[in-house]
Amino acid sequence: MRITIDQDRCVGAGQCVLVGPDLFDQRDEDGVAFVLTDGPEGAAGGPGEEHRAAAEEAARVCPAAAITVAGTER
């Protein structure tokens, strides 16, 4: 599964971190969100499928519609 964040749109509300604390964090300097690459296994393919529900919930609640979830099985 591949998760991407359009950081230019992120408004730093942190909803993604609340919904998927294993998947997302916010930069200390400006609160902009990023995907935790050293987080859940799945290596090059991104986080494993077991995190899909959380990733999709984050994409749904993100107020800036900045999160996209893609890759393999749906």
Partner 1 sequence: MPASDTEPGDGAAPPPALGYPTERTCPFSPPPEFARLREQPGLPAVEALEGGRPWLVTRYADARAVLGSPAFSARFDTPGFPLMSPSDVQQRDDRTESLIRTDDPEHLRQRRRLTRDFTVKRIAALRPEIQGVVDGALDELLAHDGSADLIATVALPIPSRVICLLLGVPYADHGFFQRAAARALAGDSSPDEVRTALGELGDYLAALVREKVRDPQDDILSRLATAYLVPGEIDEREMVTIAMTLLVAGFETTGNMIGLGTALFLTHPEQRALFTAGDEQLQRNAVEELLRYLSIAHHPRQFAATEDVTVGGHTVRAGEGVLISLPAVNRDADAFDDPDTFDITRPAQQHLAFSYGTHQCLGQALARMELLLYFRTLFARVPSLRLLDAPEDFDLKQRSRAHGFRSLSVAWQEDAR
Tokens of 12: 């730093």
Reported as half-sphere exposure (CB side, CA atoms, 13 A), residue 24 has a value of: 32
One-letter amino acid at 68 equals T
Instruction: Judge contact between 7 and 32, C-beta under 8 A.
Output: yes
15 binds ligand SF4 (CB under 6 A): yes
Could you give the string, one character per residue 31-50, with x where binding to ligand SF4 holds by CB under 6 A and - elsewhere? Answer: --x-----------------
**Residue 21 binding ligand SF4, by CB under 6 A:** no
Interacting residues toward partner 1 by CB under 8 A: 9, 11-15, 17-19, 25-32, 57, 60-61, 63-65
